[in-house]
Structure formats: structure tokens, C-alpha cells
Amino acid sequence: MSGDSPGDVDAPLVAGVDVATATVRVEVRDADGKPAAAASAPLPRPVRGPGGESEQDAGSWWPAARAALGECTRKLGRRRHAVRALAIAATSGTVVAVDAAGDPVGPALMYDDRRAESEASIAREAGSRRWERIGITPSAGSGLARIGWLAAHADDPKARLLHTPDLIAEHLVGRPVATDTSHALKSGYDPVNAEWAGEALTALGVDTDRLPDVVRPAQPLGRVSPAAAAETGLPAACEVRSGMTDGCAGQLASGAVDPGRIVTVLGTTLVVKGVSAELVHDPTGAVYSHLHPDGAWLPGGASNTGGEALSDVNPGRLARLDRAAGEHGPSGTVCYPLRRDGERFPFPAPQARGFLLEPASDEIDLHRARLEGVAFCERLALERMGKLGVAVTSPILTTGGGARSRLWCGIRASVLGRPVARVPRAGTALGAALLAATGTLHPDLSTAAHAMVPAPERIDPIVEEAGPLAANYRRFLEALHERGWLNS
């Protein structure tokens, strides 16, 4: 690393912390977005059970974060004193009960824990008017339902109920801290009225005193304590600033921070997110909005399709299949490549199932049909958001593992009828670093993103494929209508 070179020892830095399912990753960047150090530490696998349980040892979060931060500061050498701020992003809806010292009193309920069906039903009924107004529908997959379950089952009835970043930030600062509106959104926080949904929490038996205060993302929570500075190598003057969920941080890392910008994150699932000056209301609940750090809104949704469509393909064969599928051209069949039961976006349909309208002629035709099917979901998502009033400008930014496939980006551009611009190295940790830089290295998020996000690579539509793909898309829509999953 260049951290010990005399010319840049004092150049200010920020750190982004990404707490994923399997690892904690930290990236340190300068004001121009150039990497200065990076490190990661493993987390234990979640323990999943037949009743929808998904738990993780929350006691592992701080040691892993401490280790990754410590490795970064060792790499930085004398430059570690230049780290001005950090922010933390984590999985949405993961919650844990902690004692007065901030230590877990039991395992965390992970983002995919679905045991709290009855709590979700209670929350929906108690806050029905509020949910309709803000566009959030509590489900067994929401943090609010899990908070209700924890409140009912925790051994300590006074245990505080936190999200992942809250616990880590508390260890860094040395006292309880506020959570952010992004992590709190599906835990029962109303960003329109800036309050916890008291009627739903009361119905669940949750005293709001057990929940943290809430602030917007990129706000100062406190400074690194002397004890945490000794453990991590961070300077005691380093600010800890409020973060956002991993999905939102990934959006910021793409540069989609100004109204009209849209990003598609093509990972295991397909996530489409935009920026709107006004709150978007979707009566179906498929599109919901996080609060933008600067006061706008981030509408979007997550499909159950995405890179998971290719989960049965050996990753070592994907490049060859892509080459062959590129030569093959548009598929002779239409595929909805859903691997699980139910869809949530771009249309809510718990009864939805994947389909292939006709048998594929061969393995290449099937691979091509799957790539096209995900692109059809992306187009439908953008059309849905456009009808709700979200401005959609070109090009469509894109990140995630699926965006590494140039063929897939070309197919998507052809289906969308507009360019796709893939952003290199745009991950959750970069998004968290942008939040850390907002108000410290840069005056606002837009300025931070324009300075720190890598330039995207533009991929244009394949003109000769536009007609056949448009015909396949019409057949795709017809099949959804025939099955009763799409009503408009």
C-alpha cells in the first residue's frame, strides 16, 4: 500500500463497513474514491430450520468488524490517522436483543427468518392505515415481525432490540447510538411522520423505549471511543456516521443518487431502485421507498428472479454458454426463470411459479431464454415504476455479479430499448464509504458520488435483436396475464 508515502499521509480517508451474511468487509477510500485499504473477516453460517428459522451468532459481528478494521489500519500504517469517518451497511431486517452493555442475549434473527407469521398479521392489522400511507406491508420477512417475536421470546423483558449496524456502532462509540431510517424502515419506522409505528408496536407488546432513536443516513452518531481505537487502530477522532441497508448502499455505489437515475443490481435476485423527489405510492405494495439522505426518496423493489436463475449451472461453464448464446441469438421459447415459490416485484403474486412456454431446443437455447426472462422482469419493473411517476432516464446503471456478463447486459439493453451502463467495483462497502464521506469529505451525497464512484461502461442495445426480443416480451406478458399474476 502507499499509505506511508510522505505526500499523502494526511490526505483524508473514509471507511465503509459491509456486514453481509458470510463476511464483514471494510474498504477505505480517499475523497476521489481511490482505494487505500481493504480487508474482510468471516462470519459463521446462519443456522436455518424447517419452521422458517434463520439465526446467526450476533456475538460474532463485533469481533469480525474489529478484525477487518484492524487489518485495514495495519495496511494503512501512518495513514490510519487520516480516517475521518466510517459508516456501516448490513442486511435489511436482521435484528437482535441485547443487554445494557450492548451484548447479545440470544442469536440474531436474520433477514430471511420467516417464523413470525402471527406477529406480521398482528402488525398489518394494527397499523393498516399507516402502512397504506407509506407503502410498506409488514410480512413474516420484515424486521417488525421479528422484533415482535423477539419481544415475546427474549429471556430479558427489558432487552433492547437492535439492527446489525446499531450493535457494531455501539461497540465503536462505547454507548447506545441511533439507528438509521433505512435499517428501521421495515422494522416499523414511519419515515413520513418521523416516528415509530406505535399502534403496531403496542399490539405486538413492544415498548418503544426498547428501540433506538432514529436519524437519517449519513448523520454523526459519535466518535470512536479510546477503547475501540485501541482495538481497531482507528483514530479516536474518527466519526461513526449512520448507514443504510446493503441494497440501498449498493444503489449509492452505482452513482444512482440524483432524481431520474435508476440502477439494477443483478445479484442472486434482481433489485431495481431509483431516485424520486416525491414519495411514490404503489397500491400493490410491490414498490416501496427508503428515505434519501438528502431528503428525496429511493423507490424500488426486489424480485425473486435474478442470478439465481443460473444456480444449476457450474460457474466455470458460464463464459462458454454466454459465447454460444450470443451466437445463437434470441431464444425460440419464453422463460420466467423463477426458482422459488412466489414473486414480490415487479408484481406481487405469492402463487407465481417459474415456467417455460415451450421446451428449449438445447442447452444453449435454455441459457439464452433464462437471460432474456430476467431482462423481461427488469423491463416490467421499469414500466411499473414509470407508471407510478418515477422518472427513468438513460442509461440504466447496473451492478452485481450478473452485470459482469457483457452478453447479459447486451440482452438487457436490447429488451429495455436503452443503454445499460455497468459500474465496476460498485459494492456495498463503497456505498457505506459514500455515506461516511457525506458531510465530512464532501458537502452532500450527490457531490460524494460524483467524485468517488467509478465511471461506468456503456453497453448499447443490439439493434438486430430488438424485434424478436420485443415479440418474446409480449408473449411473456401474455403468459403472466393468463395465469392471473399480472392485472395491469
pLDDT at 372 over 60: yes
Round to whole Å and give the CA distance between 183 and 274.
Answer: 18
Round to whole Å and give the CA distance between 466 and 67.
Answer: 50
User: What residues does 396 pair with on adjacent strands?
Assistant: 420
Residue extents of the structural domains in the chain: 6-243, 253-482
Query: What single string gives the DSSP state of each residue in 7-75?
Result: GGTTS-EEEEEEE-SSEEEEEEEETT--EEEEEEEE-PPPEE-TTS-EEE-GGGHHHHHHHHHHHHHHH
pLDDT at 274 over 70: yes
Q: Which three cell numbers stand for residue 94?
A: 436482521
Average the pLDDT over each of 98-102, 406-410, 423-427 and give the range with the smallest value: 423-427
CATH label, 6-243, candidates 3.90.1580.10, 3.30.420.40, 3.40.50.880, 1.10.1040.10? 3.30.420.40
3-state secondary structure of 234: coil
Identical fold for domains 6-243 and 253-482, yes or no, is yes
Round to whole Å and give the CA distance between 55 and 38.
Answer: 27
**Quick one: pLDDT at residue 282?**
87
| Tens digits of residue pLDDT in 218-245 | 999 999 999 999 999 999 999 999 999 9
Q: Which three cell numbers stand for residue 184?
A: 428501521
**Quick one: pLDDT at residue 290?**
94
- Cβ–Cβ under 8 Å, residues 112 and 143: no
What distances in angstroms separate CA 292 from CA 84, 289, 321, 346, one per listed residue? Answer: 22, 9, 39, 22
What distances in angstroms separate CA 164 from CA 96, 150, 292, 390, one per listed residue? Answer: 8, 15, 20, 31
Query: What single string gives the DSSP state of each residue in 295-353?
Result: S-EEEEEE-S-SGGGGTTS-GGGHHHHHHHHHHH-S-SS-EE---SS-B-SSS-BTT--
Segment 80-108 shows an average pLDDT of 95
Segment 57-81 shows an average pLDDT of 97
Q: Which three cell numbers stand for residue 133?
A: 400511507
pLDDT at 10 over 90: no
**Quick one: pLDDT at residue 488?**
67
Top mean pLDDT of 139-153, 292-306, 436-450 is at: 436-450
**Quick one: pLDDT at residue 168?**
98
State the CB neighbour count (10 A cutoff) for residue 476: 24
Round to whole Å and give the CA distance between 156 and 97.
Answer: 9
pLDDT at 300 over 60: yes
Q: Determine the residue type at 436.
A: A
- Cβ–Cβ under 8 Å, residues 92 and 245: yes
| Tens digits of residue pLDDT in 330-340 | 999 999 999 88
pLDDT band at 402 (very low <50, low <70, confident <90, very high): very high
What distances in angstroms separate CA 261 from CA 33, 454, 471, one per listed residue? Answer: 20, 16, 27
pLDDT band at 5 (very low <50, low <70, confident <90, very high): very low
Round to whole Å and give the CA distance between 191 and 198.
Answer: 13
CATH label, 253-482, candidates 3.20.20.70, 1.20.1630.10, 3.30.420.40, 3.40.710.10? 3.30.420.40
**Quick one: pLDDT at residue 3?**
40
Segment 394-411 shows an average pLDDT of 94
State the CB neighbour count (10 A cutoff) for residue 444: 14
Segment 24-46 shows an average pLDDT of 97
| Tens digits of residue pLDDT in 138-185 | 888 899 999 999 999 888 888 999 999 999 999 999 999 999 999 999
| Tens digits of residue pLDDT in 202-211 | 999 999 999 9
Average the pLDDT over each of 199-203, 245-249, 281-285, 358-362 and give the range with the smallest value: 281-285
pLDDT at 134 over 90: no
pLDDT at 444 over 80: yes
Which ranges constitute the DSSP H helices of 104-235? 117-126, 128-134, 143-153, 164-173, 181-184, 198-203, 226-232
3-state secondary structure of 186: helix
**Quick one: pLDDT at residue 20?**
92
Query: For cell 471494510, what's the residue?
Result: 26
